[in-house]
């Protein structure tokens, strides 16, 4: 498994994570927890800005809320999956939409993981670490795009 802190210390570039949520306090909470683990974090506060940030910053992982202004997270996710340069980008949905139909919809559109609010920040960090471990090629069972079952 990739150790992000030691990767940064050895001069390797840390994984870049986009956190996209319209609740600034949640974005900050996630940002602090991920940065403490050695991740580079970029942020966006609505769906439209999230897509622009994906295109400009090219993160390796996206944490995405559903209910946001201008474009909801499901629309962002559908756009990510339609575009060849982002179709395999890992996406963790983090949302208050916790009904079975919402969770199903998230997975249907291609979410890699779905975490509901309120959430434990360390659980999210664990999800990011799990996905990151599969991105660096150290997972011998990884073969191309992968969906993560919990």
What pTM does this model have? 0.83
CATH of 14-135, one of 3.90.470.20, 3.40.50.2300, 1.20.120.610, 3.65.10.10: 3.40.50.2300
- Which of 54, 48, 45, 138 lies closest to 90 in space, CA to CA? 54
The three-point CA angle 63-76-123 to 5° equals: 15
Alpha helices in the chain (DSSP H): 4-9, 24-36, 47-57, 73-82, 100-108, 121-135
Query: What does the block give as tokens for 18?
Result: 């986009």
The three-point CA angle 45-106-22 to 5° equals: 15
For 98-137, what is each residue's pLDDT tens digit?
Answer: 888 888 999 999 999 999 999 999 999 999 999 998 876 5
How confident is the model at residue 134, as a pLDDT? 84
For 40-82, what is each residue's pLDDT tens digit?
Answer: 999 999 999 999 999 999 999 999 999 999 999 999 999 999 9
How confident is the model at residue 6, as a pLDDT? 46
When computed from its CA atoms, the radius of gyration of the chain, rounded to whole angstroms, is 14
Proportion of the chain in helix, strand, coil states, percent, rounded to 5? 45, 15, 40
């Amino acid at each position: 498994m990739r150790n992000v802190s030691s990767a940064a210390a050895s001069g390797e570039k840390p994984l870049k994570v986009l956190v996209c949520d319209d609740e600034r306090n949640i974005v900050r909470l996630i940002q602090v927890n991920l940065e403490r683990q050695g991740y580079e974090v970029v942020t966006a506060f609505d769906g439209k800005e999230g897509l622009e940030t994906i295109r400009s910053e090219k993160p390796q992982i996206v944490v995405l809320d559903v209910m946001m202004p201008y474009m909801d997270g499901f629309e962002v996710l559908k756009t990510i999956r339609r575009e060849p340069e982002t179709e395999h980008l890992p996406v963790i949905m983090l949302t208050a939409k916790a009904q079975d139909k919402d969770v199903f919809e998230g997975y249907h559109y291609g979410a890699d993981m779905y975490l509901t609010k309120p959430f434990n920040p360390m659980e999210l960090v664990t999800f990011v670490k799990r996905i990151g471990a599969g991105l660096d090629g150290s997972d011998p069972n990884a073969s191309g795009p992968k969906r993560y079952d919990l």
